[in-house]
Structure 1
Amino acid sequence: MPGDDASGLDWLVFEQSGVLSWSQAVRELSPGKVRHLLTTGRWERLCRGVLRVGTGEYTVEQQRWAAVLAAGEDAVLAGLAAARAGGLRGRWGYDAVDVLVPYERQAPDLLRRLPLGMPAVRVRRTRRLADVDRQRGRPDRTTMARSLIDAAQWMPGDDRAQSVLAAGCQQRRVTPAELDAALRRLARPRRAVLIRQTIADLAGGAEALSEIDLVRLCRRYGLPRPELQERRRDADGRVRHLDAYWRRWGLHVEVDGAHHMEVRHWAADLRRQNRIWIDGDRILRFTAFDVRRRPDEVAGQLRAALTAAGWRP
């Protein structure tokens, strides 16, 4: 952090991770001095109108600043890049940096302007960006709710769109109510039906894509909807969450992701499964792959277990 006697340029370089626009630079230095710094290699030009102090590999923060500054006035970081800047964790196979600009502006094509080593930048225009959907930051960005809604619109594939919404709620970065409010402020969003249904499932307790898939499987095959993320205290006094639970029929379902294959998780799952049986409930376990790719088989076993426990369609 710059000291008390630091110049305005020092603070600007610090706050913007070493990335400046040309206009910012010449407000602090003369145009001749800026050109000298570029010519001598102490600074570099990232693209027209965007400069970087120093050289070397680009940090994530520098990539974000370069994208926003290159997009021009009133641009804000958006989509998955903005959600990650707000603390969202995870990988979705989407590395482009999305930037929003007002609709009346011509969106510059930055896909080929930025140098090698920088991710692709997609400048998107929006007619609606309410003040409540903007957030101050380094750089300014859309709020977590708006960022996730936009990410779900722009993601390649419906599964990834649902996953990013579920991750935001699972990681406690946003609530279903906040997502719903952000969606309602958009005029005609892409994947509106999918996003709206996903938010409803998240509001019902689902916190992972596998749980959303299970709820939709039950709806599709005429099975009763389970209670999701049911809280139960184990023999050690710790609170555990059941993936899906039909309390009336004493049926518990676990949907196992990849982490359940690890030895320490596997052993813990077996102990929890034994406790459920001891307490008198039935338990079924499926992989997330089976729920998504073998729905007939999963629905058949669910129907059989519910019927055996007394359920009648």
Structure 2
Amino acid sequence: MITRAQLRAIGIDNDAVRHRITTDRWVARSAVVIGTTTGELTRNQLMRLGVLHAGGPAIIGDLSAAEVAGLRNWHRDEVTVLVPQGSDLGQPLEGIRFVETRRPLPIMRNPDLDLPVCRIEPAILHFAAYQHSMRTAEGVVAAAVQQRLTSPGLLLGWVDRMRPLRWAQTFRETLSEIEDGAQSLAELDVLRMCHQYGLRLPRQQTKRQDADGRIRFTDCEWLLPDGRTLVLEVDGAFHMEVGHWEDDLARQRALAASDRVQIRCTSRELRDYPERIARDLRMLGVPRVA
């Protein structure tokens, strides 16, 4: 991917460009950008097309930038490019969404990459702040931490740097809960359920060795008054697929022990009917808080 201006700078004039396009060696990807290869664009080429077409301080942003950083399970086909407010970009480009912003793009750019890409923290927060669903916003923030792409402390720092930021206080509260041990949206729901119904907070992501000697991490654990441990595993939607479901059953058997009670619930049940989960936890012996 190269702009017409860059080609002129190295001595390739418009006539030479036109000839290569006419003979199907090059492709005009936009009014500004020329592709020196034909065929379908790769993901990286599509991103580079977006920033070259926009020019200036434009950067790959939101979930596209998070994808470059390694975020899994949040893919969007359309590439997001952040551009300065008031940019005149002409006709839209297929597969690319240009988002205008007044934020200072140069300080948001990741300096370690050749491709102009937003840092993971402002990328996640910018995407989250414009979601209609707070659960989506909290979910992507939790996912970035859970996948070890960033930390609550770094995200909190960017919440302050990006003021004014929609839902900033909610992000602070969510990140505080994540710092206390919750790594996923479901684990956040467990903590909130415990606060709401007066239950003792669980230990989260407890390291366990299963019957095969493999290291596992349980979602939530409570030490019961009789000395046993109650384990709650929260199943997301992907756990309902046959392969995942069978894997979870095998995992539960491998972690079973005479002093350990294991129960499961779905993330939807936890979200929509927390009072049922809280009732069952109380009946199984989870202590109330004073």
Matches of 2:180 and 2:2 in 1, distance apart? 45
- The 3-state SS of whatever aligns with 1:47 is coil
Instruction: Indicate which of 33, 46, 63 corresponds to 1:50.
Output: 33
Matched, 1:134 2:117: no
Task: Give TM-score scaled by structure 1 length.
Answer: 0.80
Given that 1:98 and 1:124 are in contact with CA atoms closer than 8 Å, whether structure 2 keeps it comes out as: no
Matches of 1:109 and 1:247 in 2, distance apart? 60
Matched, 1:101 2:80: no
Matching residue of 1:301: 280
Instruction: Indicate which of 157, 176, 201 corresponds to 1:181.
Output: 157
- Decide whether aligned partners of structure 1 residues 310 and 75 sit closer, same or farther in structure 2, where only a CA change above 3 A counts: closer
Given that 2:222 and 2:230 are in contact with CA atoms closer than 8 Å, whether structure 1 keeps it comes out as: yes
Q: CA deviation at 1:202?
A: 1.9
Instruction: Between 179-188 and 252-261, report the one with greater CA deviation.
Output: 252-261
Matching residue of 1:239: 215
Matches of 2:41 and 2:203 in 1, distance apart? 46
- The 3-state SS of whatever aligns with 1:70 is helix
Matching residue of 1:283: 262
Aligned length: 283
* Structure 2, gaps ≥5 residues long: none
Alignment of 1:1-313 (within 5 A): 19-28=1-10, 29-91=12-74, 94-103=76-85, 106-108=86-88, 112-114=91-93, 118-129=94-105, 131=107, 134-247=110-223, 249=225, 250-261=229-240, 262=243, 264-272=246-254, 274-275=256-257, 278=258, 280-305=259-284, 308=285, 310-311=287-288, 313=290
Q: CA deviation at 1:237?
A: 4.2
- Decide whether aligned partners of structure 1 residues 208 and 310 sit closer, same or farther in structure 2, where only a CA change above 3 A counts: closer
Given that 1:228 and 1:244 are in contact with CA atoms closer than 8 Å, whether structure 2 keeps it comes out as: yes
Matches of 1:238 and 1:137 in 2, distance apart? 36
Matches of 1:303 and 1:108 in 2, distance apart? 60
Matches of 1:178 and 1:43 in 2, distance apart? 43
Matches of 2:289 and 2:155 in 1, distance apart? 36
Percent of aligned pairs with the same amino acid: 31
Q: CA deviation at 1:108?
A: 3.3
Instruction: Between 284-293 and 190-199, report the one with greater CA deviation.
Output: 190-199
Deviation per residue, 1:216-258 (Å, 9 max, x gap): 2222223222221122334554432121122365332111224
Instruction: Between 185-194 and 125-134, report the one with greater CA deviation.
Output: 125-134
- The 3-state SS of whatever aligns with 2:256 is helix
Given that 1:47 and 1:113 are in contact with CA atoms closer than 8 Å, whether structure 2 keeps it comes out as: no
Q: CA deviation at 1:102?
A: 4.1
Q: CA deviation at 1:68?
A: 0.9
Matching residue of 1:6: none
* Structure 1, gaps ≥5 residues long: 1-18
Given that 1:244 and 1:253 are in contact with CA atoms closer than 8 Å, whether structure 2 keeps it comes out as: yes
Task: Give TM-score scaled by structure 2 length.
Answer: 0.86
Given that 2:33 and 2:49 are in contact with CA atoms closer than 8 Å, whether structure 1 keeps it comes out as: yes
Letter in 1 for 2:150: V
